[in-house]
Amino acid sequence: MVFADLFFLYGFLPVCLILYFFSKNITYRNIVLVTFSLIFYAWGEPVCVFLLIFTALIDYIMGLLIDKFRDRTGAKLALIASLVINLSLLGFFKYSGFIVENINNLIGLWSDFQIPMPRVRLPIGISFYTFQTISYTIDNYWGKVKTQKDFGKYLMYLSLFPQLVAGPVVRYSVIEESIDNRKTTLADMSEGLSRIVMGLAKKVIIANNLSTVVESLCGNAEIGYDIFKTQSVAGTWLGVITIALWYYFDFSGYSDIAIGLGRIFGFKFNENFNYPFICRNITEFWQRWHISVGSFFRDYLLYLPIFGKRRPYASLFLVWFSTGLWHGASWNFILWGLYYGLFILIEQKIGKKRMKKIPAVISHIYSKIIIVVGFGIFHIESIPAMGNFFKALVGANGGKLLDAVTRVTFMNNIWLFVAAIIFSVPIVKKTKEIMSKHRSTLVISNSIGVLMNAVLLIVCSLLLVDTTNNVFLYFNF
């Protein structure tokens, strides 16, 4: 089940809300959330829901063992067991095919023998809920959170449908207190509904339409992105900029819906995207883009004992190798991760003070070029096609500087690009902040907000009546 779906919006969610708010106390409300979360997941993954429950049970037990053997060897063994089991499950379901494929490529250099490819279906959301459950176990071991003694409550934390299948990665510490003590105010309801509508508009109105432009300019995996063999320079750059905008509105749209849903149920999830394209360097970009995943790698992987602060560069590239690999079982994701690691290393060597002295115009041009090219690496899984993409960026493929198809595509979608640019920077946010300083303008701002929410919800609903291009991108990770 997906959020941008009429059944979810007008069937599943209203029934869940009615049962939730008519429940007498927090215990019954937690039961409602667990039940509907498992239904939500089982809707598309009827078998894999048992894997989710098994994962929750394992780390619930490991948490109890860590608490029982606190500061003793037993606690460390429980932590190790949790990490081994969770990472093994993630590795088997997500990377077994990738590993076998690369082994077969090596074997093929001197033999015709091939290992049969495993037929493993990737459970939706396994990357996200694996990170969540790992963060609980580690934080429990470090004494940053209290051990959850009730399995039902832990299962609710891990399976909460607002963030279950595509993030953000919600750490146990963020909602620890809310599990037993939360309430929803009218302000929470208003803010939550607004965020949901905002996320829907980002996804349905902007991201879905940007995806069609991406395919027209960049082709698709089925035809090997052959368009880059002849694509013009302008067409290639417009295409990769559109990819960057598409991914932003898709990912951040899902996060907005998740945060909004959480707010309605009394949970305050951390922000996951903070207008990343206004950054002046790559380090800042990753402080604003997919914050929950970036902070996870920073807090749990950056200073591993095998490297630590004594070998900062090894730690840095371990983090970015892992970041790339986490996003997908393909070499382009690994290259994408190392690509960003390289530029962050360069910025570290330059130093924060020197980076700040670089003129703003140059900083923005530099960072946007690196970012949009990075999205090209992320999007194009075929290494040969990626080579054609890099050639097309500079016209080394023999393509024109500008062609008629690119010109027509741009003009036909100019208002889509304008909307994407406007809503990828905090223009609306700043305007609302200014208007909220005065009572008279605050009333106007709130009235406009209510009207726009209603209009956007109607438009999204109409667009969802007949659409085949609606799956969130991160469902594949």
**Residue-wise DSSP of 300-313:** HTTT-TTTGGGSHH
Angle at 232 between CA 231 and CA 235, to 5 degrees: 90
d(CA 454, CA 306): 54
Degrees, nearest 5: CA angle 58-45-221: 115
DSSP string, 318-387: HHHHHHHHHH-SSHHHHHHHHHHHHHHHHHHHH-HHHHHHS-HHHHHHHHHHHHHHHHHHHH---HHHHH
CA angle 351, 357, 358 (to 5 degrees): 95
Say if residues 469 and 208 touch (Cβ distance below 8 Å).
yes
Residue 55 CA to residue 157 CA, distance in Å, equals 12
Which amino acid does the sequence have at 108?
G
DSSP string, 265-320: TT--PPPS---GGG-SSHHHHHHHSSHHHHHHHHHHTTT-TTTGGGSHHHHHHHHH
Active-site entry in 290, 327, 379, 438: 327
Helix axes 233-264, 404-412, angle to 10 degrees: 30
In the numeric block, the tokens 């406007």 are attached to 422
438 is catalytic: no
Nearest to residue 459, comparing CAs of 430, 432, 419, 428? 419
Give the residue numbers marked as catalytic: 327
